[in-house]
Structure 1
Amino acid sequence: MRLFPKKFPNDEDGQVLKMLYKQGVDFNKPQIVDFFIGIPDSESGNALSTALRNDGFSCELEQDEETKEWTLYCYVEMLLIHEEIVNVQRRLDELSEPFGGYTDGWGVMVD
């Protein structure tokens, strides 16, 4: 079966989706999408992690050994639909703001 080019919005999220599509990711089955949230410190990260878990997200807090920056990784199983990804990022921004956090992109593991 031949894959025909698919149209994606001309924004950063659309570019990531286009790249994933070209790499052969199956858009017809749910994927584990990792959303990254920059957070100022471990205390804020742990508090935000609890809030996000209460909202249905799975999260892990990590500190980069070199930069010492904190990142909260949130995992969601979902179809790769542009509008849905944008909506999740908006929701994460809303929940993160009171903790000094901000969404900092997303990704999908590719085999």
Structure 2
Amino acid sequence: MVNIFTPKFPKDDDGRVLKMLYKDGVDFKKAQDIDFFVAVPDKKSGDTILGILSDNGFNCELEQDDESKEWTCYCIIKMLLKYEDIIDIQKRLNELSKPYGGYSD
């Protein structure tokens, strides 16, 4: 008899993405590269936020969207796909970027 256990995921955007990845067969026991996005108001603020995130151990790049012209810091973190840890990182990115007009997106 096969025991199939499907973990429960919160019913928010992050939970839905994790559920989709689980159903697609992603190995949750293996660290994965996760993209985090921090929306920033302009290049100057983005450069400041980029430096602060870097000083706090985040590996990020600042990019401007060609069409919308909006600025974003893209951060990649290799970690296990644990909902609580993902939420904690988003909160930390918010804390670090908020004083400069940025927010985790």
- Which structure is higher in strand share? 1
1:60 match: secondary structure: strand
- Percent of residue pairs identical: 57
C-alpha separation in 1, matches of 2:29 and 2:4: 13
C-alpha separation in 1, matches of 2:57 and 2:101: 20
Alignment: residue pair count? 104
Match of 1:50 in 2: 51
C-alpha separation in 1, matches of 2:86 and 2:93: 11
Letter in 2 for 1:73: Y
Deviation larger for 89-98 or 6-15: 6-15
Match of 2:85 in 1: 84
In the alignment, is residue 9 of structure 1 matched against residue 7 of structure 2? Answer: no
TM-score, normalising length: structure 2: 0.93
Q: How far did residue 11 of structure 1 move?
A: 1.7
Match of 2:23 in 1: 22
Distance 1:10 1:50, change over 3 A: same
CA deviations over 1:25-69 (Å, ceiling 9, x no partner) = 110011111101110111111111110011110001110111100
C-alpha separation in 2, matches of 1:4 and 1:57: 34
TM-score, normalising length: structure 1: 0.88
Unaligned 5+ segments in structure 1 are: 105-111
Q: How far did residue 2 of structure 1 move?
A: 7.9
Distance 1:25 1:2, change over 3 A: farther
Q: How far did residue 5 of structure 1 move?
A: 2.1
